[in-house]
Every structure is written in structure tokens, then in C-alpha cells.
């Protein structure tokens, strides 16, 4: 089966997703096929309501398709029970959101440690991995005992990325990660994704911003729940390099 090819971090095979409210059925995705190689950096663009976040939620194993299959690192996730799926998601996938989703009553260090608690790691090991992740995204050690609301938006997003990668996930998923940031902060965040990808991290990024999409290796255009086409990015129009 094509979906089991070993070179792919993600395979979405003929996926449909329906939402049912009363007698009304809305198809958010209709026959989506997508392959993402290990170490790829792709972006997904499309108008509001095109199914971008639905697709990301299916890849991220937050939701299940109505029809079709999602393979992560060659594993058919439709065969996993709810508990197995949650454990698999925690090990394999890191999430970065537009709204940061940091807990303001916790310190930066505690926020980064959160996904590691379910792993049963010791406090020392959680701390070591969290600090390592923060350094990897260009964070400052002076942040670790601050609360998220004491940091700028760009700094908070870097903390969110550190939280996402602290568990060494195979795949990093980002949903409009620059949507709440000014252009200077957005450049820092996008450069962080590019640097992580340079060292082998698989990245799938949803964005409305062509300047952000042009920083990836491949752009997929989603429209009306289907992949309408693919584009080759123009590095010269990447947010990092454009003026």
C-alpha cells in the first residue's frame, strides 16, 4: 500500500471529514491525499473555511477522519485505540498555535515541561530537556522563572515552540504561528522553524501569509476541502529575506 512507504513522516490517504449538525452534513475535507517526507518543511494555504485546521487536526491525531487513513511514521493510526492514540500523539507530534496556549500561572520552564509529565520522566530529566529546547529556539535563560505574560509575543511563541519540541517529536505542526505577531517577531519565529528544519525536524505550517509560506520547501493550496494545487516557494519573497 502506498501509504506504508517508509520514507514519509505523514501520509494522508483519501481522507474525508464530515461534521453533522442535526440533519445537515458539512464536508470539511473531501478526498485529500498528501505525502510529507521526513525532514520536509511544507506550508498549507487557503481561504478561511477551506479545511486547513481540520487537516492539521487530523494529522495531529486530535480528530479522526470520517473516511480514509492517516499514517504517521508508517503507522496506520486508524488501528490505534483512544489511549494508544493519545500516547502516540504525545511521543510523535508537537503543536504550536497562533494564541500560544501558554499557562500564565506557570513559569516558562513549567510550561515547557508540561507535555513531558505524561512521559513519566523525572523532574531533573524534564528540566534538562526543557532548557535544551529553549536554547534550541534561541530563548534566553533569564526567561525560565518568568510568567508568559511577562514576555513579548515573539518570546512567548518561541517558548511555545520549545514546549512543542521538548519531547523530540517526529513532526512539528504549526497553526498560524505568526498570526498574532508583528513583522519583526514573525521573522524570529519563522527563522526558528527554518533552523529546526535544517537539523531534520519535519514541519507542517498553516498560514494565510504568502511571505511565511515562501519560507517553506513546498506550498499546498487547499480550497473547498480539497488540495487544489501545489506551488514552488520563491525564497526571495520569504519573510526572512523580503524587505
pLDDT tier for residue 6 given thresholds of 50, 70 and 90: low
Q: Is the residue at 4 inside a domain?
A: no
Q: Under the phi-then-psi rule, with left for phi > 0, alpha for psi from -120 to 50, and beta for the rest, what region is 46?
A: left
Q: Is the residue at 15 inside a domain?
A: no
Q: Is the residue at 207 inside a domain?
A: yes
Q: Strands 171-175 and 93-97, how do they pair?
A: parallel
- Number of domains forming the structure of the chain: 1
Q: Is the residue at 33 inside a domain?
A: no
Please provide the average confidence, as pLDDT, over all residues in the chain. 92
Q: Which whole number is the average pLDDT over 107-124? A: 90
The answer on pLDDT for 238 being more than 80 is yes
Q: Is the residue at 120 inside a domain?
A: yes
Q: What is the pLDDT of residue 3?
A: 41
Residue 136: φ, ψ to 5°: -60, -30
pLDDT tier for residue 170 given thresholds of 50, 70 and 90: very high
CATH code for the domain in which residue 208 is found = 3.40.50.300
Residue range of the domain that includes 220: 38-64+79-237
What is the percent of the chain where pLDDT is above 90?
83
Q: What is the pLDDT of residue 115?
A: 86
Q: Of 38, 43, 46, 77, which is closest to residue 59 (Cα–Cα)?
A: 77
pTM: 0.91
Q: Which whole number is the average pLDDT over 124-132? A: 94
Q: Which whole number is the average pLDDT over 200-226? A: 95
pLDDT tier for residue 192 given thresholds of 50, 70 and 90: very high
Q: What is the pLDDT of residue 7?
A: 79
Other residues' Cβ atoms within 10 Å of the Cβ of residue 52: 22
Q: Is the residue at 122 inside a domain?
A: yes
Burial class of 133 by CB neighbour count within 10 A (0 to 12, 13 to 18, 19+) = buried
CA–CA dist 32, 26 (Å, integer): 15
Q: What is the pLDDT of residue 99?
A: 87
Give the pLDDT confidence of 17-50 residue by residue, as tens digits: 999 999 899 999 999 999 999 999 999 999 988 9
Q: Is the residue at 219 inside a domain?
A: yes
The answer on pLDDT for 117 being more than 90 is no
DSSP strands (E only) in 55-113: 67-72, 75-76, 93-97
pLDDT tier for residue 243 given thresholds of 50, 70 and 90: low
Q: Is the residue at 8 inside a domain?
A: no
Amino acid at each position: 500500500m502506498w501509504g506504508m512507504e517508509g520514507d514519509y513522516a505523514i501520509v494522508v490517504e483519501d481522507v474525508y471529514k464530515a461534521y453533522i449538525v442535526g440533519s445537515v452534513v458539512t464536508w470539511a475535507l473531501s478526498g485529500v491525499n498528501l505525502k510529507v517526507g521526513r525532514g520536509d518543511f511544507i506550508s498549507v494555504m487557503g481561504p478561511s473555511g477551506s479545511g486547513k485546521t481540520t487537516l492539521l487536526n487530523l494529522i495531529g491525531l486530535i480528530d479522526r477522519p470520517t473516511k480514509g487513513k492517516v499514517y504517521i511514521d508508517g503507522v496506520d493510526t486508524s488501528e490505534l485505540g483512544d489511549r494508544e492514540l493519545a500516547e502516540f500523539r504525545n511521543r510523535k507530534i508537537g503543536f504550536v498555535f497562533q494564541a500560544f496556549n501558554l499557562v500564565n500561572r506557570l513559569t516558562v520552564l513549567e510550561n515547557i515541561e508540561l507535555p513531558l509529565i505524561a512521559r513519566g520522566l523525572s523532574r531533573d530529566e524534564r528540566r534538562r530537556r526543557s532548557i535544551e529546547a529553549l536554547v534550541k529556539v534561541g530563548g534566553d535563560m533569564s526567561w525560565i522563572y518568568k510568567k508568559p505574560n511577562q514576555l513579548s509575543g515573539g518570546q512567548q511563541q518561541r517558548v511555545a515552540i520549545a514546549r512543542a519540541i521538548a519531547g523530540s517529536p517526529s513532526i512539528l505542526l504549526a497553526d498560524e504561528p505568526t498570526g498574532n505577531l508583528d513583522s519583526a517577531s514573525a521573522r524570529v519565529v519563522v527563522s526558528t522553524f527554518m533552523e529546526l528544519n535544517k537539523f531534520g525536524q519535519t514541519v507542517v505550517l498553516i498560514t494565510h501569509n504568502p511571505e511565511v509560506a515562501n519560507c517553506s520547501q513546498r506550498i499546498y493550496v487547499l480550497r473547498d476541502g480539497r488540495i487544489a494545487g501545489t506551488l514552488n516557494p520563491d525564497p526571495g519573497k520569504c519573510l526572512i529575506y523580503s524587505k
